[in-house]
Amino acid sequence: MSDRDYHPDLPVREHSAPPPPIRRIVVDRHPHVAEPASAGNGTGVAIPGRPATPSLARSAARPPAANVVERMRVESVWLAYGDNWVVRDVSLPVRQGEVLALIGASGSGKTTLLRSLNRLTEITTGAARAGRITLDGADIHEFEVTELRRKVSMVFQQPNPFPMSIFDNVGYALAERPQGRRRRRRSAAIEQAVVDALRRAGLYDEVAENLERSALRLSGGQQQRLCIARALAAEPEVLLLDEPCSALDPISTATIEELIVALRESVAVVIVTHNLQQALRVADHVAFMHLGELVEYGPAEQVFEHPVEQRTRDYVSGAFG
């Protein structure tokens, strides 16, 4: 920037030292994908040279999931709104037994990619796609869209409970054919399923005394856990989380993060997050996206501590974003 850009009346600041150089993001074609030799490899294993700051430390006691099964596969997927391709040629596996975090700056396409996994991108007019996404080997477009979304459930950034009772919020997700609200015949099975879902979401003990209370009376953290319970009620295979903690306080965030780690045993979890520390805390694998491209994919420790790509290194060290 030249001096002419400054207003002449403003005092010119004396530079005691030259400003730090702005690092340019290296643009290269192919993402670096580090596939672990075997599932669970690298999780919980101390890596030399890793900073011992407690804020960045994953819970060291966290054991790797018992068994890791691939649920979904994203193959050379391109996604666009109108003529704007916001996801470009991304390939990823989504596995049960581990948490996959999608990280990247705003506009990197991570939320779009997440929404494409249960075809929620389709409700936006002008959405286009290329490539293939499979669920248990079958293309997701072969499923009835409602069936797919029961298998690949989603929790959003803002807690969005329905203006119903706590019970009805979860029951709504469960009911194959929604019953009338008035004088709802509650079979023992549905009641049990609702309680189970609330338990899995770690909310049951807090709301057990009155499930008929309006869900809108819950706190933000409780509402978000209710949304997770609702998403879990239909027994999905994959749980998508779009920045689930960004509207919550640190205590609620910690509760939900513990919950996410606990859930990976039974469902494949994909989480989009802006919060790098959160990705490090909960994720087993991390995919770093930048301007629609997948830059690097690998075990969380590797992406954070020993990134292969310069762009990943810059992002996780805070050079941009």
Partner 1 sequence: MASTQLLDAPPPGTIARPKRETTAAWPLVDRLCHAVCWITGIGLCLVAAWIVLYMLVKGISALNLKLFVESPAPSLRERQSGGFLDPLIGTFIITAIGVGIAAPVGVGIATWLTEYARPRWLARTVESGIETLAGVPSIVLALFGLLIFARGFFSFLSASTNGGSVSGKSFLAAGLLMAVLALPLIVGTVREALLQLPSRTREASFALGKTRATTIRHVLLPSIRPGIAGGVVLGMGRIIGDTAIIVVMLGAAPKLQGAGGPPLLSTLRGTGSTLTSYVYGFSPAGEGNSPHKAYAAAFVLLMIVLALNALVTRLSRGLSLGSVDWTAKQ
Site residues (CB under 8 A) for partner 1?
118, 120, 123, 145-150, 153-154, 156, 158, 160-165, 168, 172-173, 178, 181-182, 212, 214, 216-217, 227, 230-231, 234
**Which is nearer to partner 1, 62 or 213 (by Cβ)?**
213
CB of 154 to partner 1, least distance (A): 4
**Which is nearer to partner 1, 67 or 210 (by Cβ)?**
210
CA distance 249 to 43: 27
| Radius of gyration, CA atoms only, the chain | 22
**Which is nearer to partner 1, 123 or 188 (by Cβ)?**
123
CA distances from residue 260 to 118, 153, 205, 211, 297 in whole angstroms, order as listed: 19, 14, 18, 23, 20
**Which is nearer to partner 1, 154 or 289 (by Cβ)?**
154
Three-state DSSP state, 133: strand
CB of 162 to partner 1, least distance (A): 5
26 CB contacts (<8 Å, ≥6 apart)? Answer: 309, 310, 311
Three-state DSSP state, 275: coil
CB of 206 to partner 1, least distance (A): 18
**Which is nearer to partner 1, 86 or 286 (by Cβ)?**
86
CB of 40 to partner 1, least distance (A): 29
**Which is nearer to partner 1, 39 or 247 (by Cβ)?**
247
Counting beta carbons within 10 angstroms of the beta carbon of residue 234, is it exposed (0 to 12), middle (13 to 18) or buried (19 or more)?
Answer: middle
Residues in the chain: 321
Counting beta carbons within 10 angstroms of the beta carbon of residue 36, is it exposed (0 to 12), middle (13 to 18) or buried (19 or more)?
Answer: middle
CA distance 140 to 134: 5
CB of 71 to partner 1, least distance (A): 17
Residue 102 is encoded by which pair of tokens? 């999608």
**Which is nearer to partner 1, 155 or 276 (by Cβ)?**
155
Strand partners, 130: 78
**Residue 109 in contact with residue 289, Cβ under 8 Å?**
yes
Provide the residue type at 168 as one letter.
D
CA distance 117 to 60: 31
